[in-house]
Amino acid sequence: MTTNTAHKRLDEIETHLTPKEWAVRLADEMRKYPDALAHMKALVKLPLHELPVQRPYFAFEKQAAERHPGSKPEDIRARHRLTDALWREFHTLKLLMRQVDQTMQRKVETISLQAALQLSALHALILEDALANTATHAAAFTELGNGETPLAEWSHEYTALLQDFYAHRTAVELVQDEHFDGHPILYPELEAELTEAARTIESAVVTANDYLNRRAVRAGAGTNGGAAENNLAIGLESIKAGANGQRAAAIAEKWQHDASREAVETDEEQWERCREEFGAIGSATGNG
């Protein structure tokens, strides 16, 4: 097969791809690079007609021309409507990928910092308990003014952090399954960061539960038989299993809603929204 024949065959195939298939192609293309910056550096070297975010438009025009041939005004309008509809669907999926990637990038940075702080706080509680050196009056089990012990407060806060993290990871999977036929859409470097963040937050759970188990054994001869420790143990597998629920679905739905809204906004509407979102920042810095 000659090069020209191969190109013609490729053009024929691309002409009949759906917006979702183009979006999956775009995701696969993006994932050849570690992150968005490396991807953008590669894109600037390509001519406009070869850009993976532009090629679909030309294919949609050809697809519309095949389905609505003719030179009558109604034929032309039908072609334009179909081209616009196909492009909007692809554009929405492209924005959805960006929405998910940016949100998860911010999320992994926040979660990693919060997990590090919480792990440091846990080590401090364990040290306090070791220094107290009693089973019934350890600092970590002394009630605060709100009726909770420091360890109970830590356990509740960390459980909330875990629930948020795994709900977002599940939301990514929901988006991938529903809109991209299960294809991954995050950059490889971000996926690696999420994996590392999971290791970090799960290591804190292991540390906390091991400590509580030892505490329960030590308190076994007491009146509570280690009941307080058992109540504070974090059920990591239960949290993971519960992540595939309404919270994850709501996150995925918001990403889809935001992408759909942005896809139909005019340049003027986008500018006004940016002004509203960042106006307060400008005022606070004296630039507004």
For residue range 65-114, what is the model confidence (pLDDT) as tens digits?
999 998 999 999 999 999 999 999 999 999 999 999 999 999 999 999 99
d(CA 60, CA 18): 9
d(CA 277, CA 275): 6
Q: Which of the residue ranges 113-122, 169-178, 262-271 would you say has the lowest mean pLDDT?
A: 262-271
Query: Residue 241 contacts by C-beta under 8 Å, 6 or more apart in sequence?
Result: none
- For the segment 133-168, what is each residue's pLDDT rounded down to a tens digit? 554 445 555 555 555 678 888 989 999 999 999 999
Tell me: pLDDT of 177 over 90. Answer: yes
The predicted pLDDT at position 54 comes to: 81
Structure tokens of 29? 């293309």
Tell me: pLDDT of 220 over 70. Answer: no
Tell me: pLDDT of 228 over 90. Answer: no
Tell me: pLDDT of 241 over 80. Answer: yes
The predicted pLDDT at position 274 comes to: 57
d(CA 186, CA 9): 30
- In which band, very low, low, confident or very high, does the pLDDT at 252 lie, cut at 50, 70 and 90? very high
pTM: 0.80
Q: How far is CA 272 from CA 14, 196, 222, 267, 269, in A?
A: 36, 38, 65, 9, 5
If you average pLDDT over every residue of the chain, what do you get?
A: 83
User: 234 φ, ψ to 5°?
Assistant: -90, 120
Q: How far is CA 217 from CA 83, 124, 222, in A?
A: 69, 21, 10
Query: Residue 23 contacts by C-beta under 8 Å, 6 or more apart in sequence?
Result: 90, 93, 94, 97, 179, 180
The predicted pLDDT at position 31 comes to: 95
| Exposure string over 191-230, b if 16+ CB within 10 A, otherwise e | bebbeebbeebbebbeebbebbeebbebbeeeeeebebbe
Mean pLDDT of the region 34-57 = 85
d(CA 171, CA 81): 32
CA atoms within 13 A on the CB side of 288: 11
Q: What is the length of the chain?
A: 288
- For the segment 266-287, what is each residue's pLDDT rounded down to a tens digit? 555 655 655 565 554 444 445 4
